[in-house]
Amino acid sequence: MPRTPAVARYRGRFAPSPSGPLHLGSIVAALGSYLQARVNGGEWLLRIENIDPPRELPGAADAIQRELVRLGLEWDGEVCFQAQRVAAYRAALAQLEAAGLVYACVCSRRDAGLGPYPGTCRGRARAPSAPASLRLRVGPAPVTIQDRLQGGYSQILAQACGDFVVWRADNWPAYHLAVVVDDAWAGVTEIVRGADLLDSSPRQRYLQQCLGLPAPRYCHLPLVLDLDGSKLSKLALAAPVAGNSASMVLAQALRFLGHPPPTDALGAAPSALLAWAISAWSLAQVPLQSRRPEG
Ligand code: GLU
């Protein structure tokens, strides 16, 4: 049963994967989505995306929650753990299968190549005997999202990625399926996250269409880049923020989001800094450009 209330109230969420401790880039995404939710009088949910055991770092889910609490970024309600929601993802998969939209694929990464998946397994007559992933058929029509920061963003999925995996060969749901099912289940009305996921959004919008789910709004924030210009990543062991004072971390994330706190707020406790940020927050002030932090 969806948790969605009859009248949609603003609901935002932060959905980290427990592949490592939070770094400045993840804090920027957490803080941006938190502020959007609070400014809109809404709720802010926390979802731990733990459906990729090989990439999970033991203890990271707890460390992430501790860090959010330390920063005063308190979420509403229970934490959602994706690993406990596999039955819901299976039900969504069954719906796609019943609509004839899914087929088994035994191509290795190498077979599938670097470009869009060429559809090699589309016409397979018999179920494969080896472990297979399941792919969703995509069509030639453009899929467009209106991003509140980045503007209109469109992809023809057949050209951008081809039929994409919704269930992995290791028998876990693929990220896109899980995210779409959970955002709808939780009644999320706006997704605020890093711009690295902008190009995932058309796939997610397409899945929402296939499953008859409501379309949330999107807002993709600029990314924090490393010295060499690449995105900070938990997997690449970006420096965790836990060693710095909570107020320093919040101030740095706020500056990055175009909201430098006034000097007299700088030494304040996280709760005071967040109260200032809620009063000052405006999406119009958030720069579009991904870049290195100012320090
Ligand atoms: N779990 C994803 C990550 O940590 C974010 C998913 C999302 O916000 O949709 O990068």
Q: Whose CA is nearest to atom 6 of ligand 1?
A: 15
**Residue 237's pLDDT is what?**
63
pLDDT tens, position by position, 141-159: 999 999 999 999 999 999 9
pLDDT at 123: 87
Mean pLDDT value across the chain: 93
Instruction: Identify the burial level of 136 via C-beta atoms within 10 angstroms of its C-beta, where 0-12 means exposed, 13-18 middle and 19 or more buried.
Output: buried
Looking from the CA of residue 13, the nearest atom of ligand 1 is 8
Measured from the Cα of 234, ligand 1's closest atom is 4
Q: What is the pLDDT of residues 202-224, one digit of tens each?
A: 999 999 999 999 999 999 999 99
CB 43 within 8 A of CB 9: yes
Please, what are the domains in the chain?
Answer: 11-85+176-285 (3.40.50.620), 98-173 (3.90.800.10)
Whole-number Å distance, alpha carbon 16 to ligand 1 midpoint, is 5
How far from 19 is each of 49, 53, 178, CA to CA, in Å? 9, 9, 17
Which residue has tokens 């700088």? 266
Residues whose beta carbon lies within 6 Å of some atom of ligand 1: 15-17, 49, 179, 193, 197
Q: What is the pLDDT of residue 7?
A: 62
The rounded percent of the chain whose pLDDT value lies above 90 is 82
Residue with tokens 């008859």: 212
How confident is the model at residue 204, as a pLDDT?
A: 98
User: What average pLDDT does range 82-88 have in this prediction?
Assistant: 98
Q: What is the pLDDT of residues 253-284, one digit of tens each?
A: 999 999 999 998 888 999 999 999 999 999 99
Phi, psi of 52, deg, nearest 5:
-135, 70
Q: How far apart are CA 69 and CA 257, in angstroms?
A: 20
DSSP-derived 3-state class of residue 143: strand
Ligand 1 nearest atom to the CA of residue 29, by list position: 8
Q: Please, where are the H alpha helices in the chain?
A: 24-39, 60-70, 86-98, 109-112, 157-160, 175-185, 201-211, 246-256, 270-280
- The highest-confidence range among 18-22, 238-242, 243-247, by mean pLDDT, is 18-22
Q: Which of 13, 19, 49, 50 to mutate to test the pocket of ligand 1 (most atoms within 8 A of CB)?
A: 49
> What is the Cα–Cα distance from 40 to 17, expressed in whole angstroms?
26
Q: Is the pLDDT of residue 129 over 90?
A: no
C-alpha of residue 286 to centroid of ligand 1, in Å:
20
* pLDDT band per the 50, 70, 90 thresholds, residue 241: confident
Helices 246-256, 270-280: crossing angle, 10 deg rounding:
20
Q: From residue 99, give the alpha-carbon distance in Å to each of 66, 93, 169, 274.
A: 43, 10, 21, 47
**pLDDT score, position 114:** 84
What spatial distance separates the first Cα and last Cα of the chain, rounded to whole Å?
46
Mutate to test the pocket of ligand 1, among 23, 193, 201, 218 (most ligand atoms within 8 A of CB): 193
Instruction: Tell me the pLDDT tens digit for each residue of 98-116.
Output: 999 999 999 988 888 789 9
Which atom of ligand 1 approaches the CA of 200 most closely?
A: 9
